[in-house]
Amino acid sequence: MVCLGNICRSPLAEGILQEKAFKAGLSWSVESAGTNSYHTGEPPHPLSQKVAKLNGIDISQQRARRFKADDFDIYDKIYALADDVMEEMKKIARNKFDAAKTNLLMNELYPGKNMDVPDPWYGPEPGYHEVYKMIDQVCEKIIEKYTVTNQRFANI
Ligand code: 4NP
């Protein structure tokens, strides 16, 4: 899960998908990063932490780190939370950028719409709630997709 600062949106995405995967019995390791290093080493934004906590998810132990080209060697799937983030990922990863592993997160819910998860950084608390809702819905869809696939395999 990749955003710009790795303190507002992608920590929520990491926490939400990790929690849903765990509850669905999927042994996924979900992590997050940012394309800039302004906040490297910092915990998630207090309002991201607050909104997560209100929804029963603790993201306080996360620490921001910068996205790197080698992430394409490590992860099976890499989601950009917004299109400007995707462009930065291409610049950072250069020849390691793998389009087959990458997607805009919201395309999992609204295929082909190329919708961004808006950056709540400059705004007040309601923006964080809105972002939480969007990420929660798309993560639910991702879990559905992979659990349905598993069931199909189990039936063969
Ligand atoms: P995020 O939000 O990408 O959702 O973590 C931002 C946080 C900080 C900055 C930009 C976006 N910043 O420029 O410091």
Q: By the 8 A CB rule, do 154 and 142 touch?
A: no
| Pairing verdict, β 33-34 and 102-104 | unpaired
Task: Say whether 66 sits in a helix, a strand or coil.
Answer: strand
CATH 3.40.50.2300 is right for the domain spanning 2-154: yes
Rounded to an integer, what is the distance from CA 143 to the centroid of its chain? 13
So what's the pLDDT on residue 149?
A: 58
pTM, two decimals, is 0.95
Annotated catalytic, 9? yes
Q: Give the residue whose CA is nearest to atom 13 of ligand 1.
A: 5
So what's the pLDDT on residue 127?
A: 98
Rounded to an integer, what is the distance from CA 132 to the centroid of its chain? 11
Task: Say whether 144 sits in a helix, a strand or coil.
Answer: helix
Which one of the listed residues 71, 116, 119, 136 is annotated catalytic?
A: 119
Residue reference for tokens 């669905």: 24
Pocket of ligand 1 (CB under 6 A): 3-9, 34, 38-39, 119, 121
The beta strand positions in the chain, using DSSP E, are: 2-3, 33-34, 78-80, 102-104
Task: Convert the pLDDT of each residue in 63-107 to its tens digit.
Answer: 999 999 999 999 999 999 999 999 999 999 999 999 999 999 999
